[in-house]
Amino acid sequence: MEFLNLKNIKVKLYELNSYQIFVLSFLICLLFYLAESILGIDRLYHPDSFHYLSAHGSSPPESFVDNPLIIFKTNYYTITNLFYDNYYLLILINFILYSLTNIFIYQKVFKRYFNSVNNIKLSFLFYLLFLDPYRLHLSSHILKETFLIFFITVIILSNIKILKIISLIFMESFRQNSWIYILIFLTYSNIKKFLNLKTIYVILALLVVALLFIILIDQSLDKIIQTQFENIIAMMQKYHNREMPLRTYDHVTQFKDYGFPIGFIYKNVTWPFLLITGFFGFFVSSILFKLLGIIIFLNNVLIYIISKKTIVSIGLIIVLTMISVYTSSYTAMFRYSYIAIYASVIYFFFNETKKCKS
């Protein structure tokens, strides 16, 4: 049938304008939202959803007039309060933000592949960028992840430095320590570019300044190193012993029976590996969570089919390890890590388009 011909679909996709991309994305989100309803997935399935709908203190609207700079302290509670904790208005905001993010990705990434990959690979890329089920799931619930994905997408794709900085400020405001997501930029090629002669001189200068500081405060280097080492160990023990709410189907071991530091090391080596491969699906009892494991594995396969490469980078491994250290529930690990994984997909294909042009 003519309307199912991939070549015709490709032509139609290329001709889409921003308004059409927005409407298409909004409809996709709406259909997924309705599909979750049919499947019986609770609208407050995530405990955070109920939490965000409850009244929380935030800056009143008039305070923004008195002090405009307070906008940089905006967080998700401010958004929920601004819309009077109305469930449907907040879901609508998610749909709108999801669609706006797709416009940016379509213009900056997807459209550049029309002449460089075949129709099958292009359809795989469309799925990876726009139809990832977990991203749609997050957009269908009252969670801050859709905002965070929007901010990190702007940081990756925008050419305007001030816009990148503002997005980073908002991202950090919405979730503390979310600056770690920008570590996905630590790829092998970027590190090679960074480690030039000028950078080496700067590092040496900083070491000299640090040494002078130690001399001035009249403390031995050994004592400073020992103190900092003890602080780091204490922090690691704190994270190792912390408790997070566990889902009944989350059977991924935390290795706490092995004690500290052996269990701590085992966990933070295995958890990122299980996540990036999707093998965590073997250790959960929920069919839907198993499906997420299959999706992660499938996404890796599709990325390799399209590019003959992997999105796994030094930076992504560092981010996943840091999130593993922080979390003690694999469901939390997956949700926090998903932003880094999805952002890595965008960053990877954005960089590949640059290589195609060169």
- Asked if 294 and 277 touch (Cβ cutoff 8 Å), the reply is no
Phi, psi dihedrals of residue 43, rounded to the nearest 5°: -65, -20
pLDDT tens sequence across 12-66: 777 788 999 999 999 999 999 999 999 888 888 888 888 888 766 555 555 555 5
Residue 3 has pLDDT above 50, yes or no: no
pLDDT tens sequence across 268-302: 999 999 999 999 999 998 898 999 999 999 999 99
Cis preceding-peptide flag for 61 (omega within 30 of 0): no
With pLDDT > 90 as the criterion, what percentage of the chain qualifies? 49
Mapping DSSP to helix (H, G, I), strand (E, B) and coil, where does residue 174 land? helix
Could you tell me the pTM of the whole model?
0.87
pLDDT at 238 (0 to 100): 83
Confidence grade of residue 92 (pLDDT, cut at 50, 70, 90): very high
pLDDT at 199 (0 to 100): 67
Instruction: Tell me the average pLDDT of the chain.
Output: 85
Confidence grade of residue 116 (pLDDT, cut at 50, 70, 90): confident
Nearest of 188, 150, 153, 196 to residue 316 by alpha carbon: 188
Mean pLDDT over 174-182 rounds to 91
Q: Kindly report the CA angle at 63 between 100 and 78, in degrees rounded to 5?
A: 40
Residue 2 has pLDDT above 50, yes or no: no
Size of the chain in residues: 358
Residue 97 has pLDDT above 50, yes or no: yes
Confidence grade of residue 314 (pLDDT, cut at 50, 70, 90): very high
pLDDT at 246 (0 to 100): 74
Q: CB count, 10 Å around CB of 123?
A: 17
